[in-house]
Structure 1
């Protein structure tokens, strides 16, 4: 680690205090090791070896956001509630609201073994049958989330599904307006205002009420180490709530590229990959057909939900760009949003206009 890495590591974990916590809850061991897992851009992930156990600790990033935007105990609540369902989630171990240990809330779960597909297919999956299976697994596991009886597992008060979709549009519009108050001095994105108005005018009034993951996509699931492709765990539940399942489906589809699509925006290459546009992978339309068959739901407004997903991506990008302009981030992706957000806005408009069909 560089010195700055060491400093940051010391901010997110006190190894002695964490060891004392594990000893109290899991018993004494001879082998103990903590590593910082740097993938992802939200909550912090620590890999812990505790004797023969391989564990994961999730905690918020340090600083003022730790008490509001990164509610890891809420994430623990939903994963823990799903333990005895068909939904593939890690096995929970413990949670703590005692800030004297790590300076924040945190929870512990067992570590899963497998592959998270980020930029390209694993070599062991490079066959027509397995390529098709990747998409089938992804959509089948989403359908299982949406079929959970959330009342039965104790999540009846986990959210407010009535009016959820309208609030999604309002929330992301507010996020964009916050970013625009700084970014418009550098450049404007007029297309995004057109998308904003269309979404506000076309919010579906009726939709099923289900458990919603909130960030369901290919790189938030893990495939087991063998073949055929099989999802063994679903991660990153921090945005989970009760709401409109089609927002999950639209979000997943926004990351799933078809052979008929234009190339992903070059300025957002770190957010997207398009290997699934190659031969043998299921198309978006085939994914939707499979989802409808599994859930009994009819996905009647694909333009709205897909455009909303890209609008949310644009909102994230514009917030990144504001933080870059204000000098609050050295992430090399953030300045690329100068051009990346307009490219995303154009994509949302193409979806609305039917130029990038399902």
Structure 2
């Protein structure tokens, strides 16, 4: 099944012909599937002496706008000269005759993505504290981008963003339920959706938002980097301290409510007091160790960096978990339809109800910030 699925992702000969036309002929051409992600597909490409990355949507039917890789290309291209660290975009392709879908190519960065555990070089309280600070400071940098100055003034419509998020993710969930209801139902999600509709904040700040900002969507630079100046904090860091060098996975980026980004990031961040994860396959727990900032400390730092208040925090954290549940249900539909070979997808039959229960706990105040 794996080989068949890979063949649905890329026609190696057609891709080579396209890249030769765009980037010039080379002697070395290698490509492999990166299996860590669970949404859009990532392919690691060696083209001559260049190490590149290809991003494309999964094959088969997907929920509308959920896998817009060309959106990633546009926003990263706009952010090149800002304080937001991103991998440099190389080219984008809308010709489905090449690999069967839209795709774009970017430079590959070197460093560590903290997905399952921390690297040994960061296994001390000071480095752990800096990991959290870099994570939230970079989110603040995204929210501080002058989106009109970088040409993104028409990238979204900020008024009503949060209400539309509730509506949109409800629609994504209903799209998944069309198929998954034949296996089992998740009644809690109907109640959570109704609560969100009734509690949407009337006003919110208007900023660029990432839409999927979390610890394993950023990269910390490799060991041995030179000391650098953090202009946002106006301090000088030692070479050994963690430095965030890249933010990935921008397909959900738009103009909207920065507090939704913060709520999403917090939904993945663990405190020592937390119950067992609803989805252990997607939830790292190493940030429960000594030195990592608490969720409350991350919120306070974000507020001090941006000048925004994290008002209605229960709403935003509930919305984040509701979105996670909707994503999980879409994964489950793709599994049932044979459009993924990801071994995590069938587990969503049980994990989505667990997420729904978590959302209810947040609403009822049983899982505090």
The answer to whether the superposition gives a TM-score over 0.5 is yes
- Structure 2 distance, partners of 1:74, 1:317, is 22
Answering whether residue 321 of structure 2 is matched by residue 349 of structure 1, we say: no
Answering whether residue 244 of structure 2 is matched by residue 231 of structure 1, we say: yes
Answering whether residue 312 of structure 2 is matched by residue 292 of structure 1, we say: no
Answering whether residue 22 of structure 2 is matched by residue 25 of structure 1, we say: yes
- Structure 2 distance, partners of 1:5, 1:335, is 16
Deviations 1:164-215 (A, max 9, x none): 1001111222233344455455544343333222211110011111111111
Alignment-derived partner of residue 281 in structure 1:
292
Answering whether residue 13 of structure 2 is matched by residue 16 of structure 1, we say: yes
Instruction: Answer whether contact 1:135 1:281 (CA < 8 A) is retained.
Output: yes
Q: Which runs of 5+ in 1 are unaligned?
A: none
Q: Which runs of 5+ in 2 are unaligned?
A: 224-239
Q: CA deviation at 1:261?
A: 1.2
- Structure 2 distance, partners of 1:94, 1:348, is 40
Aligned partner of residue 109 in structure 2, secondary structure: coil
- Structure 2 distance, partners of 1:251, 1:300, is 14
Alignment-derived partner of residue 258 in structure 1:
271
- Structure 1 distance, partners of 2:174, 2:365, is 26
| Worse-superposed segment, 90-99 or 216-225 | 90-99
Aligned residues: 353
| Worse-superposed segment, 65-74 or 281-290 | 65-74
Aligned partner of residue 225 in structure 1, secondary structure: coil
Alignment-derived partner of residue 122 in structure 2:
125
Instruction: Answer whether contact 1:79 1:89 (CA < 8 A) is retained.
Output: yes
Aligned partner of residue 39 in structure 2, secondary structure: coil
Q: TM-score, normalised by structure 1?
A: 0.91
Alignment-derived partner of residue 193 in structure 1:
190
Aligned partner of residue 340 in structure 1, secondary structure: helix
Aligned partner of residue 46 in structure 1, secondary structure: strand
Q: Taking CA–CA contacts closer than 8 Å with sequence separation of 6 or more, which of the two structures ends up with the larger relative contact order?
A: 2
Q: CA deviation at 1:254?
A: 0.3
| RMSD, aligned CA | 2.2
Instruction: Answer whether contact 2:5 2:340 (CA < 8 A) is retained.
Output: no
Deviations 1:258-303 (A, max 9, x none): 11111212xx211112111222110000000000111011111111
Alignment of 1:1-358 (within 5 A): 4-65=1-62, 69-181=66-178, 183-184=180-181, 186-226=183-223, 227-265=240-278, 268-324=279-335, 331-358=342-369
- Structure 1 distance, partners of 2:217, 2:110, is 14
| Worse-superposed segment, 94-103 or 231-240 | 94-103
Aligned partner of residue 57 in structure 1, secondary structure: strand
Q: CA deviation at 1:160?
A: 1.1
- Structure 2 distance, partners of 1:192, 1:97, is 36
Q: CA deviation at 1:87?
A: 0.5
Instruction: Answer whether contact 1:60 1:66 (CA < 8 A) is retained.
Output: no
Q: CA deviation at 1:335?
A: 3.6
Q: CA deviation at 1:326?
A: 5.9
Q: 1:7 to 1:349 in 2, by over 3 A?
A: closer
- Structure 1 distance, partners of 2:182, 2:98, is 43
Deviations 1:136-179 (A, max 9, x none): 11101100011101111111111111111001111222233344
- Structure 2 distance, partners of 1:338, 1:62, is 21
Q: CA deviation at 1:351?
A: 1.4
Q: 1:219 to 1:279 in 2, by over 3 A?
A: same
